[in-house]
Structure 1
């Protein structure tokens, strides 16, 4: 699925999502790196607030055939 369609769906998801969804370049750049040498800018940064947010996010990932990559503290 094209990146613009994923952004459209993420924007629509914001209306029923309790957590935060970021698709701006600045936030994505912050999350592009961790303590390793690798740098990969994500399509979005999503901070779910509850299990229903996680369910909605998994459904969207399945629908758009997009990978979900969890990130913790980013220290190693």
Structure 2
């Protein structure tokens, strides 16, 4: 979130960062991988940007390396 001086409200801040991807082990707890999420978005007429977005809190000066693990989700390396 960031403060917008014009509207005097907090608005979502969007920052695109690269993700490394790790394979899922057999004890995976996520029900859907990215491909199945995209199929669900299409089936329910939801944009991929909205249906697959992740909200992560960071301080403005942070540049962490994020990893998308196909079995356990997103984490900071």
Q: Is the TM value for this pair above 0.5?
A: no
TM-score (norm 1): 0.29
Higher helix share: 1
TM-score (norm 2): 0.29
Higher strand share: 2
Larger radius of gyration: 2
